[in-house]
Amino acid sequence: MTALLAFEELTKAWFGVPAVADLTLAVPEGATLGLIGENGAGKSTLMNVVGGVTPPTSGRMLWRGAPYAPRSAAEATARGVAFIHQELNLFANLSIAENLFVDGFPTRFGLIDRAATAERTRAMCARVGLDLDPATPVGELSPGERQLVEIAKALHREADLIIFDEPTTSLTPRETARLFEVIARLKAEGRTLIYISHILGDVARLSDRIAVLRDGRLVDEGAAAAFDVGRMIRSMIGRDLAGMYPPRSRPPGEAVVFEARGLDQPGVLADVGFSIRAGEILGLFGLMGSGRSELARAIFGLDPLADGTMTLAGRPLAGGPGARIAAGLAFVTENRREEGLLLESPVAENLSLVVARGFGRGPFGVIDAEAHAVATERAKTELGVRAGAIAVQPVKALSGGNQQKVVIGKWLMRQPKLFLLDEPTRGVDVGAKFEIYALADRMAAAGDAVLFISSELEELIGMCDRILVMSRGEIAGEFAESPFRREAILAAAFRETVA
């Protein structure tokens, strides 16, 4: 079995700190390699080296046995490497056809041959199971469809090596299933794939071989059949993870902290009512577009409601985010980078953003720098944020899991009564997930109420006292019994699609 791509003692260091260290690994031609590791393990760096984005510090790569040292992304593309990223590289304002042929349209007499372009686009889309008008702007496609367009583009270039980097994070279950069908077809065609994901079950299912990176090193590698999820996790974090979820420290109390009645927002929410008790973690499960994030935004006062009332600790909730924060709400949004963090600002300033007013002294609000430093340092320690000098280090330099801990931490400093956690573990590695679950448990143990929104049913089952299911803007079911019935919850979520 010849290797399409091989790494030989490859090292990539940033300012002397190796992100990939001494890596020797072969990707056999025609095989699918599953690449896993925690955030910061070196997966992205390695893929950047393959893609010609950054050169290795030492060591080399071989492509079908010949030295391979791309100096630019274009060179890697020309060689036959294609990337399918979580953030796609498509032009939303251009049509499918224009995206596919952006680097060279079929021409006739020097002008673009529209008929030929459309015809070839249709043929290429058919290869990935897309049946769409080639003139459709990519901006109108769903995330799953865009991904398929991206794959069609890779096929159009006759890429030999297709690298999938977390392709399913923004896909619905159905889109994911369709993606996997296409991947199976690619495998049957004999293409070589590298599949990177945090969803270990998918990796096990799709891969022929699995390689595990930890701290830039290859720590485990072998045939996929020899791996189970337990071994993957052990290799990734270097220890046994006794359980995926921390045990709950205290049972929920009786007092109702938050109550919503008849929340209505035409086309988005329909007569949503529920309550959360002190110390309770209430799960909210729903597919994309079910209204789960919209509900959180409405509770937080970001989007207007046509009708309905909400009370927090017995008092009616009203006003904008400022007033609701003062009343005791906290909102960890699903878009950490866009809505949660000041990426360019230091970690400490992110931690204290919500409570900044509390550090102001005197009539002009001059900040008490010492109190600020002490409080943010304490928060960093309590949260277990792995960061250096938090007063200067920008939060964008942290890994995804640590960034999320900062987002949660800035709310913890305010000591709210109700936490809205919207997909708090998205894009976060296994170890950090556990820590985030532990933080949710800590909030509940302190007597706060937690609304835990997720599209990963497993984590809701693992952490919640009760699970609500949303579908098409309505509460489609409530599940309180333990153990939770997985099938019943899914059936409620898929209500519309199944029926």
Partner 1 sequence: MTETRPAGAIPRPDPSAAATGASRLGRRARSLLLSDYFVLWLSLAYFLALLPFLPTLGTPANLANLLSNMWPLLVVAIGQTFVLTIAGIDLSQGSVAGLTSVVGAMLLATAAPAQVLSNAPIWGVVLTEAGGPLAGVAWGTALGVAAMVALAALIGLANGAAVAVLRMPAFMVTLVTMIAVGAFAIWLTQSNNIRELPEDFVALGKGTLVSVYFGERAEPQIPRRQLHDFVTWPMLIALGVAVLAHVALNRTVFGRWVFAVGVNRTAAEISGVPVRRVIVAVFVISAVCAAIGSVLYTARLETGRPTLGGGNFLLDVIGATVIGGTSLFGGKAKILWTFFGVLFFVLLSNTLNLMNLSAFHIDMVKGGVILAAALLDVARTRMSRGAAP
Least distance in angstroms from the C-beta of 444 to partner 1: 22
Q: How far apart are the first and last CA of the chain?
A: 48
In angstroms, rounded to a whole number, what is the distance separating the alpha carbons of residues 476 and 496?
10
Q: Which is nearer to partner 1, 270 or 373 (CB)?
A: 373
Q: Which is nearer to partner 1, 1 or 499 (CB)?
A: 1
In angstroms, rounded to a whole number, what is the distance separating the alpha carbons of residues 397 and 393?
7
Q: Which is nearer to partner 1, 191 or 410 (CB)?
A: 410
26 bridge partner residues: 6
Least distance in angstroms from the C-beta of 34 to partner 1: 14
Classify 366 as helix, strand or coil: strand
> Which string of DSSP letters, residue by residue, matches 182-250?
HHHHHHHTT-EEEEE-S-HHHHHHH-SEEEEEETTEEEEEEEGGG--HHHHHHHHHSS--S-SSPPPSS
Least distance in angstroms from the C-beta of 244 to partner 1: 22
Q: By CB under 8 A, name the binding residues for partner 1.
A: 11, 13-18, 21-22, 57-58, 214-215, 217-223, 226, 238, 300, 302, 321-322, 325-326, 331, 333, 338-345, 349, 352-354, 356-357, 359-360, 364-367, 369, 393-394, 397, 410
In angstroms, rounded to a whole number, what is the distance separating the alpha carbons of residues 153 and 139?
16
- H helices, E strands: number in the chain: 17, 24
Q: Which is nearer to partner 1, 58 or 249 (CB)?
A: 58
Least distance in angstroms from the C-beta of 10 to partner 1: 12
- Closest to 188 measured CA to CA, from 98, 127, 105, 118: 127
How do strand 161-165 and strand 366-367 relate by DSSP bridges?
unpaired
Among positive and negative, which fits the CA dihedral 99, 102, 107, 111?
Answer: positive
Phi, psi for 336 (deg, rounded to 5): -60, -45
Q: Which is nearer to partner 1, 57 or 142 (CB)?
A: 57
Least distance in angstroms from the C-beta of 64 to partner 1: 22
Do the beta carbons of residue 394 and residue 346 sit within 8 Å?
yes
Q: Which is nearer to partner 1, 325 or 476 (CB)?
A: 325
| Element spanning 277, H or E | strand 269-277
Q: Tell me the C-alpha to C-alpha distance, in Å, between residue 454 and each of 271, 283, 297.
A: 21, 7, 14
Q: Which is nearer to partner 1, 236 or 460 (CB)?
A: 236
Least distance in angstroms from the C-beta of 340 to partner 1: 6
Least distance in angstroms from the C-beta of 236 to partner 1: 11
Tokens 């056999």, residue located: 28
In angstroms, rounded to a whole number, what is the distance separating the alpha carbons of residues 90 and 384?
37
Least distance in angstroms from the C-beta of 120 to partner 1: 40
Q: Which is nearer to partner 1, 315 or 485 (CB)?
A: 315
Least distance in angstroms from the C-beta of 366 to partner 1: 5
Q: Tell me the C-alpha to C-alpha distance, in Å, between residue 278 and each of 257, 320, 385, 429.
A: 6, 24, 27, 29
- Closest to 247 measured CA to CA, from 462, 76, 2: 462
Least distance in angstroms from the C-beta of 352 to partner 1: 8
Q: Which is nearer to partner 1, 101 or 227 (CB)?
A: 227
Q: Which is nearer to partner 1, 282 or 398 (CB)?
A: 398
